[in-house]
Amino acid sequence: MYLRHFALREAPFSITPDTAFYYPHEGAQAALNTLLVALRSGEGFIKIVGEVGCGKTVLCRQLLKSLQGNFVTAYIPNPDMGPDDLLHSLCHELGLEVDAQATRHQLLTALHACLIRHARVGLSVVVCIDEAQAIPVRTVESLRLLSNLETEKRKLLQLVLLGQPELDVKLQRPEIRQLLQRITFSEYLGPMQPRRVASYLAHRLATAALDETTDTGVFEPAAAAAIASFSGGVPRLVNVLAHKCLMLAYGENEHRVQLRHVKLAALDTPGVTRHSSRWRLWWHRLMRRGPPLADA
């Protein structure tokens, strides 16, 4: 509703992962560099753990984008499935046609043949498994079997696990300790540093800008500092707060987001501050007013 008001061609603070908006703050860039170095070195198992909302999925997609041309890649966004289902899903991602009733041995044989074909032409295969904390314990055995696919010289398959801290807890279980021992590189993805939030906001506004005349300094310094404080530097919370702030400024026909906008947005945002029924009622009334007269 506020795109024209702020001279934007698309919503700048959507929480949908989009690599066009990837912002290389210290934590994200360190994690991406670790992944690229480890994969190009031929490491078999790599793990990235991060808190909810810190950008694991967009990091994963940025990694896949960076690997294009030199690697064959596969992406499994939801690994909450049985052992054979995981192998079927991987076959599908790699373009293999396998019978729906294929046994685990047949699936592994088909995958091994596929990996050998890629290796002969100098291509490595990387599989990224997002939300890896959701992998059932009984399915972890499939990952171990996949890690056994190798030649005398190299791993035929490289696996990247991205998950919430619960993944570390799961990997400590005695029955899957063999998998933990195979993870050679590990990185933690945390929130942005507070001082990066202002440039993050400007970066997303510039990416969504309608043209070069778009103002990317919409957020006053005090407002940006408040967003950093309320969000704790968690990108998803930054996006939610920033989106609501733009709605508030638009509703008042303002072209600058001020500190008061951030405070009001924070009152309406779970995970940031406790709700006040009075302010929540005010918020909903404001949202029903429609666009300001100047923009109507």
What pLDDT sits at residue 285?
A: 54
Report the alpha-carbon distance of residue 33 to residue 15 in Å, rounded. Answer: 24
pTM score, whole prediction: 0.85
Report the alpha-carbon distance of residue 18 to residue 62 in Å, rounded. Answer: 9
Q: Give the relative orientation of helices 235-251 and 277-287 as an angle to the nearest 10 degrees.
A: 60
Q: Give the relative orientation of helices 259-267 and 235-251 as an angle to the nearest 10 degrees.
A: 110
Total residue length of the chain: 296
From the options 3.40.50.300, 3.40.640.10, 1.10.40.60, 3.40.50.2000, give the CATH code of 26-189: 3.40.50.300
Mean pLDDT per 10-residue interval, the chain, length 296 residues: 92 94 94 93 90 94 90 94 92 91 90 92 93 90 79 82 93 83 89 95 96 91 95 95 96 95 91 51 50 41
Cβ atoms of 269 and 240 closer than 8 Å? yes
What pLDDT sits at residue 220?
A: 96
What pLDDT sits at residue 277?
A: 43
Instruction: For Cα atoms 19, 23, 74, give the angle at the middle one, nearest 5 degrees.
Output: 35
Q: Where are the domains of the chain?
A: 26-189, 193-295
Tokens found for residue 271: 């995970």
Nearest to 43 by CA among 145, 137, 184, 161: 184
What pLDDT sits at residue 44?
A: 83
What pLDDT sits at residue 69?
A: 81
